[in-house]
Amino acid sequence: MITATVREIRETPKGKRKKGGGNFMSEKEKKERKVTPIGEAKWAYLDKPKPAFTDPKTGKSKGEPKYQIDVVFDPKDPEWGAWGRNLSEAIKAMGGSQSPIKKEFNQNDEHTGRYYVTFKTSDKFQPKVFDKAGNILEGVKIGNGSKVRVSYIENEYTAFGGGINLYLNAVQVIELVEFGNYTAEAYGFDVEPEEVTEWEPF
């Protein structure tokens, strides 16, 4: 049985045959693209990849450069609650213990009540960026606080207890905060949270 890579899935039209024989499944059958609820962008590396980590002691790089974006979600949003529960249930169903949903902490190491998710992909596949009307955005740096949706593909893995990570495909910008025009939180100010019901994804 032929297993297509993510790159092959993206570029191979439905019904095309790979050289050497064998049919590819359609993209929907093999790897379904999904879209997040609206969240708040943080540390978007979409115009250029985030550099690999360099060990300050040895000067050696670890890992590879990645296009990536962190998206923070509001626990008051019912769409987020359903999305987060579905993802957590899928991880439990596969017997995994690792989730891409992480708690957000402030500078005092206190949980803000919000959650964030990291989406990333290889530096070989630059993700497309669209505005809310579906037009491609070029040369725009997405700043912290921008309202975005993310198109992604789920990938199951078994190492380190198993789980699901999320491959970044594209980003739709609903409300742009250009790079440098940060929110109060981005500058380190405390923002008094509204009272919300705590929702734990696990």
Which residues does the chain have with pLDDT short of 70?
1-30, 180-202
Give the three-state DSSP class for 172.
Answer: strand
Angle, vertex CA 110, rays to CA 37 and CA 101, nearest 5:
30
Structure-block tokens of residue 127: 């993700």
Q: CA-to-CA distance for 56 and 46, rounded, in angstroms?
A: 25
CB contact set of 108 (below 8 Å; sequence gap of 6+): none
What is the pLDDT, as a whole number, of residue 3?
Answer: 37
Q: What was the pLDDT predicted at 53?
A: 85
> What's the pLDDT score for residue 63?
85
Its pTM stands at: 0.73
pLDDT at 6: 38
Closest to 166 measured CA to CA, from 100, 103, 122, 115: 100
pLDDT confidence of residue 172: 98
For residue 47, the model assigns a pLDDT of 92
At residue 167, the 3 state secondary structure works out as: strand
pLDDT digits (tens, 9 = 90+) for 68-90: 999 999 988 999 999 999 999 99
> Given this model, what pLDDT does residue 1 score?
37
Residue-level pLDDT at 62: 83
- List of domains in the chain: 33-51+62-187 (2.40.50.140)
Write the CA distances from 4 to 7, 31, 166, 198, 202, integer angstroms: 8, 10, 17, 40, 32
The residue written with tokens 């360099």 in the block is 54
Burial class for 44, CB neighbours closer than 10 Å (0-12, 13-18, 19+): buried
Q: Helix (H, G, I), strand (E, B), or coil: what is residue 7? A: helix
